[in-house]
Amino acid sequence: MRRLFLLLCIIATHVHASPSQSAVFSNLLPYAGKVSSIEPRDSKRNLEIPAVYIDQGAWHGFHLPTAVEDLGSFPGPLIIAQEYSIYFSKNVQQLTVFDEQGLQRKLSDAPQQKRYSLPNGLYQKYEWPDLKLFVELRFIDNRSASVLTEITNTTNETRRWRLQWQGQPYNAHPKLKDYQLIQSHQIQGTTSRWQLTPVENTWNLLLDDANYQIQFPRTVALKKQTHHGYLASTTLSLAPRATQKIRAIHQYFHTQTERVAHQLPISVEQRISDNERNWHLKTKDIDKTPQGRMAVKAIMTLTHNWRSKAGNILHDAVTPSVSFKWFNGVWAWDSWKQAVAIARFDQQLAKSNILAMFDYQFQKKDAVRPQDHGGLPDVIFYNKSPARGGVGGNWNERNGKPPLATWAVWHVYLSSKDIDFIKTMYPKLVAYHQWWYRNRDHNQNGLVEYGANVHPAHIKEGKPNRQAIIEAAAWESGMDNAPRFDEKDDLLVLKNINNKGELVGYSISQESIDLNAYLYAEKRWLSQMAKLLSFHEESKVWQQQAQTLVQKIQTQFFDEESGFFYDIRFNGERRTRLVEQGKGVEGWIPMWAKAATPNQARLMVERHLTNKQFATTVPFPTVSADNLSFAPARYWRGPVWLDQAWFGLKGLKNYGYHKHAKRLANQLVNHAEGVLNDGVIRENYHPLTGEGLHCNNFSWSASVLLLSYHEWLANELQ
């Protein structure tokens, strides 16, 4: 089997990308750069090279070269070592070409040369009067990448060429004293395999018995070099106008068990052809405008952040960003937003992305938090947290995240028409919905608060830790440092006690408008799901609950004088809308949820959709530009987060303000830095200047750009 695979690597006909795709969707992201160290990061903890190419859920990726010594090769790889991205090597497969006189053919001197990316891979071309060299990197499966070297004799005479590859890994880690990355290095036949040293450093690096290997075909001679390096070479005799190809397979495995279980496909070429076809299907309905290029870039960003199941991530899922140090996990509300967009091009991945979080829905017999049955963790990683019997993991079970799962499941169903998925998810969604009312409605008035779970971090000297609980409540909202969660004397921390007298969680004394609007929307979608499953009585109950809640939203959270929705601060019988604290983007969520009256929507649009408030250069800042707390570059205190912008835009459309929505959607993509050119998609944006802020290659921003394209921007310039 292995010999057949290797033979096919050498003789199979190569499938090139289609010319139309090459012309339209090339170079959408900045993959090019030089790897400078094992963990090169900028001041914002992003990787120095803005984008890394990964496909098919793999846990390793590559770049295009810029340095002369890297030409013809692909810098890296970056490996995602369970929770942290590091570079395994500066360039683990450096190519050198020698002619029959033994002289090096320098690629930098090639009269014609081109290095470019397409959605399906990275490519390089070099041409001289007597020689053509083509090099490509494509992913075969979720653990394997192919580096193909194709050499063509363009003369009418037989020529001989020697191809040589070499590389060595990094070894020392700058933040781990005395640690050596490589435990051992072996050459077995035509495979160079590096065994990585296990390490358990919670904040910098986590590894089990991982290994990286490169497998060359049997025509290549392979030998060890010093410092865990290798040298591979082959001599080719090329007839006039003949072409030969050499394919190397790069694989990264988290464990030896994973490596032994993995099987390469018999036909690599067929797998590459299939993947090219998949990329064509993903992009075939996207137009050739700058907005269309943006949409494809969004799909690519989501794909680069896709991780196949591994460790304690039991389903394939999309992480927030491979570029940022702390974002190689799976967050709850990120997953919901991602799934809605992913369903437009990969319905199976969209479902899997949701299931990855629900694999850890708390049950009544949960060993750690049975009181939270139905709830979900905030974030999960490859490694379980110590509280769950893991080592070094950074799971967060201190709080949940806003209830958008039902929205996601319903939209995945609309794309897939998979009623079995609804059957699977409906009881899970019901339990999740009920958790909010059981564990976060302190005064049982049907209006829910953000809060915190029972957790050791929330106790200090035997009492509730006020600061930690307010911090967790802000995290639970997703708006980590928003002004509405600033610690003030009238913001209370409240214990939530069940009918057995048991502590089940904490609330802050603030009924949040976004949370209750999300729950209203959930009731509506749960009603539709129940009807679809022929649970007609349940459907009616959900409708009744929705009607009761929407009346409370419309009458209690809306301030008629200012014409806006606000959170409610309460202390006993005293209830106050947070009007003096100023407007936040959460006030637009009722329009997205269809919970506002038409008149309330009209007042909001007429009074607050101005360039001095929410219609800024990049629209829908998290804090209104006329709010005294407005800080346009401070995370949730002013920057535009595209999920909130999406909710605002959809809210406008829901109430018939179509021209407003389309104008602001165009304003967003036209002014947000890098969106319509080859820049990376950012975590958030400066609302006044459009500057991209914080992390690179952010998944839910990519999701919103893709959804906005289909909603408002397709064929915009045609």
pLDDT band at 547 (very low <50, low <70, confident <90, very high): very high
Nearest alpha carbon to residue 363 among 458, 435, 268: 435
Tokens of 158: 């037989």
Domain that holds residue 194: 2-280
Nearest-angstrom CA–CA distance, 245 and 268: 13
* Cα pseudo-dihedral 412, 415, 417, 420, rounded to 10: -20
Number of structural domains in the chain:
1
DSSP string, 87-119: ES-SBSSEEEEE-TTS-B--GGG-SEEEEEEET
SS (H, E, C) 227-265: CCCEEEEEEEEECCCCEEEEEEEEEEECCHHHHHHCCCC
List, for residues 113-123, the tens digit of each pLDDT value: 999 999 999 99
Residue 23 has pLDDT above 90, yes or no: no
Nearest-angstrom CA–CA distance, 194 and 183: 8
Nearest alpha carbon to residue 664 among 622, 610, 706, 715: 610
From the CB of residue 304, how many other CB atoms can be counted at a distance below 10 Å? 24
**Average pLDDT of the segment spanning 157-174:** 96
Environment class of 602 (CB within 10 Å of its CB; exposed 0-12, middle 13-18, buried 19+):
middle
Environment class of 154 (CB within 10 Å of its CB; exposed 0-12, middle 13-18, buried 19+):
middle
Residue 365 lies inside a defined structural domain of this protein: no
Residue 294 lies inside a defined structural domain of this protein: no
- Using the Cα atoms of residue 417, residue 423, residue 428 and residue 432 in order, give the sign of their dihedral: positive
In single-letter form, the type of residue at position 659 comes to K
Residue 443 lies inside a defined structural domain of this protein: no
Residue 175 lies inside a defined structural domain of this protein: yes
203 - beta bridge partners? none
Q: What is the radius of gyration, based on Cα positions, of the chain?
A: 27
Find out whether 430 and 405 touch, Cβ atoms under 8 Å: no
Residue 224 lies inside a defined structural domain of this protein: yes
181 - beta bridge partners? none
Residue 384 has pLDDT above 90, yes or no: no
pLDDT at 393 (0 to 100): 79
Residue 433 has pLDDT above 90, yes or no: yes
Residue 6 has pLDDT above 50, yes or no: no
Residue 149 lies inside a defined structural domain of this protein: yes
Q: In the 8-state DSSP scheme, what is residue 641?
A: P
Residue of 480, 487, 490, 502 marked active site:
480
- CA neighbours closer than 13 Å in the CB half-sphere of residue 228: 20
Nearest-angstrom CA–CA distance, 80 and 328: 8
Residue of 372, 397, 449, 683 marked active site:
683
pLDDT at 136 (0 to 100): 98
- CA neighbours closer than 13 Å in the CB half-sphere of residue 231: 7
Residue 618 lies inside a defined structural domain of this protein: no
- Using the Cα atoms of residue 118, residue 120, residue 126 and residue 130 in order, give the sign of their dihedral: negative
**Average pLDDT of the segment spanning 331-341:** 97
What average pLDDT does the chain have? 94
pLDDT band at 523 (very low <50, low <70, confident <90, very high): very high
Q: In the 8-state DSSP scheme, what is residue 635?
A: T
Residue 21 has pLDDT above 70, yes or no: no
Degrees, nearest 5: CA angle 137-138-144: 105
CATH code at position 16: 2.70.98.50
Find out whether 374 and 505 touch, Cβ atoms under 8 Å: no
Find out whether 581 and 597 touch, Cβ atoms under 8 Å: no
Residue 716 has pLDDT above 80, yes or no: no
Residue 690 lies inside a defined structural domain of this protein: no
In single-letter form, the type of residue at position 419 comes to I
Residue 437 has pLDDT above 70, yes or no: yes
List, for residues 291-330, the tens digit of each pLDDT value: 999 999 999 999 999 999 999 999 999 999 999 999 999 9
What percent of the chain has pLDDT above 70? 96
Q: How far is CA 132 from CA 107, 344, 379, in A?
A: 11, 39, 49
In single-letter form, the type of residue at position 675 comes to V
**Average pLDDT of the segment spanning 166-180:** 95
Find out whether 584 and 622 touch, Cβ atoms under 8 Å: yes
pLDDT at 363 (0 to 100): 97
| Cβ-based neighbours of 123, under 8 Å, separated by 6 or more | 17, 114, 115, 116, 117, 134, 135, 136, 137
Task: Kindly give the residue spans of alpha helices, DSSP state H, lying in 507-561.
Answer: 513-532, 536-552
List, for residues 118-148, the tens digit of each pLDDT value: 999 999 999 999 999 999 999 999 999 999 9
pLDDT at 22 (0 to 100): 52
List, for residues 399-425, the tens digit of each pLDDT value: 999 999 999 999 999 999 999 999 999
Find out whether 121 and 112 touch, Cβ atoms under 8 Å: no
List, for residues 656-707, the tens digit of each pLDDT value: 999 999 999 999 999 999 999 999 999 999 999 999 999 999 999 999 999 9
Find out whether 14 and 132 touch, Cβ atoms under 8 Å: no
- Residue 397 annotated to the active site: no
Residue 3 has pLDDT above 50, yes or no: no
Residue 1 has pLDDT above 60, yes or no: no
pLDDT at 387 (0 to 100): 81
Nearest-angstrom CA–CA distance, 340 and 337: 6
What percent of the chain has pLDDT above 90? 93
Residue with structure tokens 């590559």? 62
Nearest-angstrom CA–CA distance, 142 and 106: 34
- Residue 449 annotated to the active site: no
Beta strands in 18-111, from DSSP E residues, in sequence order: 60-61, 78-81, 84-87, 94-98
Nearest alpha carbon to residue 301 among 664, 674, 634, 16: 674
Residue 78 has pLDDT above 80, yes or no: yes
List, for residues 39-62, the tens digit of each pLDDT value: 999 999 999 999 999 999 999 999
Q: Tell me the Ramachandran region of residue 311: left when phi exceeds 0, alpha when psi lies from -120 to 50, beta otherwise.
A: left
